[in-house]
Structure 1
Amino acid sequence: MSLDRRHLLAMALASAASPALGQTAMSERTAYGFSFPALTGEPIALAAYTGQPLLVVNTASLCGFTPQYAGLQELWTMFRERGLVVIGVPSNDFGSQEPGGATEISETAHRQYGVTFPMTAKVEVRGADAHPFYKWAALERPKDLPRWNFHKYLVGRDGHIAEVFAERVTPTDTRVITAIARQLG
C-alpha cells in the first residue's frame, strides 16, 4: 500500500509540475509565433511559413534606400521556389519616410518596384509601441536593432534570427545571398 501512495504522490507531483514545464517550453518563442496585418488587411501569420527562412525587412517609400525594393524582389524571385519568404514591413519610425497609408505604400512597392512578396501594413519597429515581432527580435539580438529603414533580419529554419544586415547592406550583397543559401541548405 505504501508503494501505491508513493506512486500516486509521484503522479500528483508530475502533473502539478507539467504546466510549469509546458510554460517554460512555450516561452521559447520563435518568429513563427507572430503575425502581421497585411497591407491589404488580412493577417500574415508567420506560422504558415514554419520551417522556412524568412527575410524580414522594415521598409519606407521616401528613403534613400527605397531602391532596395528591387533587390528584395530579386531575392524573392531567385529563392522563393527553394523556400525563402521575403516580408516587407513598412514603418514611419526613421525620418518619417513612410508617411502615407496603404495606397501610397502599395504605389511605391508594387507599382514602382514590382514587388510581389508579402507586405505588411505600416507598423512601428522600435520603442515601446514596436510590433511584437520587433520586440522579440530585440531580445534575440539586442545589439542588432534597426537603426534605419531597410534593416534586414534573416530568420533561420529554426525560427530564430540567423543573421542581421544593416540598411547599407543591399539585398543582393554576397553576404546576404550566402547567408540565405546557407539557411536553404
Structure 2
Amino acid sequence: MPSLKDFIEAMNASWPVALAILLASCALLIGEAVGLKYLQGLPPWTMGSIFIVAVFSGAVVVVRLVQLLVSALGAPFRRRRREAIYRKHLARLDELHPEEAQVLVWAALNNRQVIIADFNDIRLAPLVAKGFVDRLGGTHTMWEWPFRIPDHVWDELKRQVKEENIEMNVPNPLADRW
C-alpha cells in the first residue's frame, strides 16, 4: 500500500502526466461500470485503488488549471508593473554623465547591443551599476568581456537615435587608449 509520502510525490507530477493518468483511470472505471469482461478477473481492491488514483490525478489537473487561470489573470498587472519600472529606469537616461551617455550613443549608432570591453572597464562600471548595461556570464578573457544593453534600454536608444536623426561619427569610447 502506498504511503502518504508516495501520494505527495505523485502530486508533483506534471499536468500532462496527471491528465493521462486521470483519463486512463476513468476509462478503467467506466469499463468496470459497463461490465467489460477483461476487467472482471481483477482483484476486488483494484477498482478502489484506481478510483483513488483518479481522484489524486484529477486534483493535480485541477490545481494546474487554477494556477494557469490565476497566472493569466495576473499577467496584465505584472506587465503594467514591469512597464512602469522600465519607464522609471529609462527616465534616468537623461541624467547620465556625458561619458556614460557617449558609450550608449556610440553603441546605438553602430548597432552594437553587445559590447566587448575589459571586464572592469571604468566607462562601463557605472552603466552596469545603474542597470543600463549587463555584464554577461561565461568564459571569456578579462580583456574581451561581453556586455549587453538590456532590450528596453536598447529600444529606447534606437528610438532616440532615429527620432533625432543622429548620424555623426562618434569615436569608440571603449577603444584601447594605449
Question: Is the pair's TM-score, using the shorter chain for normalization, greater than 0.5?
Answer: no
Larger radius of gyration: 2
TM-score of the superposition, structure 2-length normalised?
Answer: 0.26
The structure showing larger relative contact order (alpha-carbon pairs under 8 Å, at least 6 residues apart) is 1
The structure where strand makes up a greater share of residues is: 1
